[in-house]
Amino acid sequence: MISRYTRKLRGCLLLVLSIAITACSSQNPEESPEAVTKRFYDLITASKVEGGTSPASEAYKLINSEASNLNVNQFLEIIKNYPPNFKVEIGKAEVKGNQALVAISYKLPSSFGGEYTVNQIVPLNIDPATRTWKIDFTGDTYGMQKDEAIAAHKTEAAPQQDIKR
């Protein structure tokens, strides 16, 4: 009798453990990096069309404000300079672990008449607290990390020793 209860207990424990492992391993955000990027730029476009700060403030919530080192007022000042009919086309994302690079393109007016297309890469990172994609608006986490850049600059700027003859 004891062995039957032990087997049932083991079975229940294995079931609970497998559910816990499955829940922990599905750490990818529900929304794709492309969808977050599209929503971000749709909100900016809406703020340009409607003229209010409400959609832009919602867009600010989609950036990694800590990495970008921007507060909401600085963010609003930056996007205020975007052209009135600003519209972004979203391309494919390249996901590597907790980082993603999303290709975007948009058109800007040319000083020579007409318009030209700008192609860029938008970096995103998974926010560990919310498990959602956050846009790195200033690109500080794209390529060389900030700490690595500071260290590289310090080694380049280190004074060279005078050679005495």
Counted domains in the chain: 1
pLDDT at 25: 45
Range of the domain at 68: 29-139
pLDDT at 78: 92
Which residues of the chain fall short of a pLDDT of 70? 1-26, 142-165
The answer to whether residue 84 is domain-embedded is yes
pLDDT at 139: 82
The answer to whether residue 60 is domain-embedded is yes
pLDDT at 49: 84
- In this structure, what CATH number is given to the domain that contains residue 92? 3.10.450.50
The answer to whether residue 134 is domain-embedded is yes
pLDDT at 133: 97
pTM of the model: 0.69
The answer to whether residue 154 is domain-embedded is no
The answer to whether residue 79 is domain-embedded is yes
Token reading at 35? 């969808």
The answer to whether residue 98 is domain-embedded is yes
The answer to whether residue 155 is domain-embedded is no
The answer to whether residue 7 is domain-embedded is no
Instruction: Give the integer Cα–Cα distance in Å for 152 and 129.
Output: 30
